[in-house]
Structure 1
Amino acid sequence: MLGLIQFFVLACAIGVSFFSDDLEQTIRDRVQPGSAAEGLGHWPTDATREIIPVGCHSHNDYWRKVPLFSALQAGCIGVEADVWLTGDELYVGHTTSALTASRTLRSLYIEPLVELLEKQNPVTSFHPAKDKPLNGVFDTDPSQTLILLIDFKTDGPTTWPHVVSQLTPLRERGYLTYFNGKDVVQGPITIVGTGDTPFDLLTANSTYRDIFFDAPLAKLEDEGPPELDREGRPLQEPSGPKRLPHGFGQGHSGLPSDVSPDTFNHTNSYYASVSFKKSVGYPWRFHITPQQLERIRAQVRGAHRHGLKVRYWGIPSWPRSLRNHVWSVLVREGVDILNVDDLKSATRRDWTHRSFGWWFR
């Protein structure tokens, strides 16, 4: 019996090997220059072929070898650009010493995104303009939006109109996610403002906005079940809004003095972010403690209750075993997107033995 099984396995291996070589030769013959079928290997929307979008955010994306495209090639659904207003131009860089005339928001992000989305949304006899669905940047998942996080490094109110203006090419083509006064309509690109983004200007228009806020996650934390009195009844909480300190969180400019957790919702915000080290604390024991885990869960619950996506920045990056442990816990607990520096490690599945298929969608 064992001999028959071994013979069967060997026969199958030989058959698969022969078929594979034969198939590869057929592919080479079909796409060689000058052949009638040369164009079979290409189609209008194949710029991001075979790239599977992954729930990760390219932190300080402008540091990549090729900004934007390195992140897209890895499958990241979020990228980050720090912008500095000088004159009438928005320059991209981590500090002013790193700025150059050629590295602008327009040249690194706006223009490349317009060019890529035009390729992803061709007008052909098979796909006429009147029936044209707006595809996103990923050919394998056209419905997946790409989040462009714009970190305002210069004065928010002064920088704001320039950011709004430079988004015009994306806005005019209908590529931006926007709020129409009643609903949020998802587009191929979702713009999120952080840093010194002015919340008051962002929410000034109640019937249309296409820039969303990066809300302070720590202040959306779900406080859990209410405390009970001796009779088992919930204790009465003080009336009035829960005030947040001015300047707290990722976005901190132009917040009203009476801001409360309920100020932030899916119509004006997209992310809810906070520093992992400052809010949850560094895992000094090289694992997440029960107290830290409860804080993560409370913050995830609070953000999701407000319709926002959770993002932690300042995640420990070394040693890698600790980083991988933190990543695994965050994904398991419902964090929507990982803020990462190491794209290759983050977008591979070998950093965890557990499978989170919903995350790699």
Structure 2
Amino acid sequence: MLKKTLLLSTLIFSMHFCKVSAQIGVSFKNGHSHNDYHQPIPLLNSYHARMGSIEADVFLKNGQLYVAHDSTEITKDATLRKLYLEPLAEKYVKNGHSPYPDPAQKLQLVIDIKKDYQLVLPVLIEELKSFNTIFDKTKNPKAITIAISGDMPLPSAFKNYPEYISFDGRPNIEYTPLQLKRVVMISADIKKYTTWNGRGTLTTADKLKLKSVIEKAHKQQKPFRFWGTADGPETWLELKKLGVDWINTDQPERLQNFYQQGASRPQQN
């Protein structure tokens, strides 16, 4: 009887996990272009690879939002508006009011604030006003999602910002139902859960830890992403099998090719 009960519980768990992990359906469209501004052509490399999530780190300097990983990298032409907001808005209009030519494909722009979110967010909100509803999901369901990551307000302060501003959640935070509505995804540093280098298979213990944090996000009805992962086919395949929804990559075109070719495990030499 105990065996049957355990078997039934395992079956129910497996069915539930498969259901929630398929909420988005992982493909190259679920690629998250990490540190996108380091691409040979910022935005465009990832956009033409049809990434569903594109990330830009920002700093505030002299009243302008600049895209850079470090304040020493700031250059005068690398503003968030010039590199991301304006070209995305132009493509949105060209596509007949859709982020991509395929009207079914969504896009989120993840803005990773490096410091001083209290100063950065008001400037960002003011910038977005000039783009009508292109970045406003509350008025336009086809809008490009704006997701804030990095230096963020506490969940209790989410309500102080316009509803079209979403946030990148963390698995260790217990959100209220209202706060959770403002969370667009849950992200975590994979190195907090495993020392796996992305090659070969995970240990059983590490696999259980990773599945546990992914499942917690899925129970909250949120897609999940790991950052700090290795960046290659073996890793992408393993993350897909674990149920990760957003695949972190610095190689958007290679990730697209991987999925277009069937996302099969690479042959070992």
TM-score range, shorter chain: 0.7 to 0.9
Where 2:30 maps in the other structure, the secondary structure is strand
The correspondence for 1:202, drawn from 158, 169, 180, is 158
Q: Which amino acid aligns with 1:310?
A: F
Q: Select the structure of larger CA radius of gyration.
A: 1
Normalization by structure 1: what TM-score?
0.60
The correspondence for 1:88, drawn from 63, 67, 86, is 63
The correspondence for 2:210, drawn from 284, 296, 301, is 296
Once residues 180 and 83 of structure 2 are traced to their aligned partners in structure 1, the CA distance between those partners, rounded to angstroms, is 28
Once residues 209 and 143 of structure 1 are traced to their aligned partners in structure 2, the CA distance between those partners, rounded to angstroms, is 23
Deviation at 1:113, TM superposition (A): 1.2
Normalization by structure 2: what TM-score?
0.79
Relative contact order (alpha carbons < 8 A, sep ≥ 6): 1 or 2 greater? 2
Correspondence 1:151-230 to 2 at 5 A: 151-170=112-131, 172-178=132-138, 186-199=141-154, 200-204=156-160, 209-217=163-171, 219=172
Correspondence 1:315-330 to 2 at 5 A: 315-317=229-231, 323-330=232-239
The correspondence for 1:345, drawn from 254, 261, 265, is 254
**Cα distance change of structure 1 residues 64 and 79 upon mapping to structure 2, 3 Å threshold:** same
**Fraction of identical pairs, as percent:** 28
8 Å CA contact 2:198–2:234 kept in 1: the answer is no
- Give 5+ residue unaligned stretches, structure 2: 1-26
Deviation at 1:265, TM superposition (A): 5.8
Deviation at 1:296, TM superposition (A): 1.9
1:114 partnered with 2:78 = no
**Runs of at least 4 residues of structure 1 off by over 3 A?**
261-266, 283-286
Correspondence 1:1-361 to 2 at 5 A: 54-121=29-96, 135-139=97-101, 141-170=102-131, 172-178=132-138, 186-199=141-154, 200-204=156-160, 209-217=163-171, 219=172, 260-262=174-176, 266-283=180-197, 286-317=200-231, 323-349=232-258, 350=261, 352-353=263-264
8 Å CA contact 2:217–2:224 kept in 1: the answer is yes
**Cα distance change of structure 1 residues 351 and 341 upon mapping to structure 2, 3 Å threshold:** farther
**Cα distance change of structure 1 residues 313 and 103 upon mapping to structure 2, 3 Å threshold:** same
Q: Which amino acid aligns with 1:73?
A: H
**Cα distance change of structure 1 residues 285 and 73 upon mapping to structure 2, 3 Å threshold:** closer
Once residues 119 and 91 of structure 2 are traced to their aligned partners in structure 1, the CA distance between those partners, rounded to angstroms, is 30
8 Å CA contact 1:193–1:214 kept in 2: the answer is yes
Deviation at 1:145, TM superposition (A): 1.7
Q: Which amino acid aligns with 2:75?
A: T
Once residues 190 and 88 of structure 1 are traced to their aligned partners in structure 2, the CA distance between those partners, rounded to angstroms, is 23
Aligned alpha-carbon RMSD (Å): 2.4
Once residues 95 and 153 of structure 1 are traced to their aligned partners in structure 2, the CA distance between those partners, rounded to angstroms, is 8
Where 1:144 maps in the other structure, the secondary structure is coil
Deviation at 1:294, TM superposition (A): 1.2
Could you list the per-position Cα deviations for residues 179-214 of structure 1 after superposition, in whole angstroms to 9, with x for gaps in the alignment? x8xxxx733301110111213443225xx5111111
8 Å CA contact 1:74–1:344 kept in 2: the answer is yes
Q: Which amino acid aligns with 1:136?
A: S
Once residues 179 and 204 of structure 2 are traced to their aligned partners in structure 1, the CA distance between those partners, rounded to angstroms, is 29
Name 1:128's counterpart in structure 2. none
Deviation at 1:169, TM superposition (A): 2.8
Deviation at 1:286, TM superposition (A): 3.5
Name 1:21's counterpart in structure 2. none
**Cα distance change of structure 1 residues 324 and 75 upon mapping to structure 2, 3 Å threshold:** same
8 Å CA contact 1:75–1:347 kept in 2: the answer is yes
Deviation at 1:107, TM superposition (A): 0.4
Where 1:149 maps in the other structure, the secondary structure is strand
Q: Which amino acid aligns with 1:186?
A: P
8 Å CA contact 1:152–1:194 kept in 2: the answer is yes
Once residues 91 and 162 of structure 1 are traced to their aligned partners in structure 2, the CA distance between those partners, rounded to angstroms, is 11
Deviation at 1:312, TM superposition (A): 0.7
8 Å CA contact 2:99–2:142 kept in 1: the answer is no
8 Å CA contact 1:58–1:78 kept in 2: the answer is yes
**Cα distance change of structure 1 residues 301 and 262 upon mapping to structure 2, 3 Å threshold:** farther
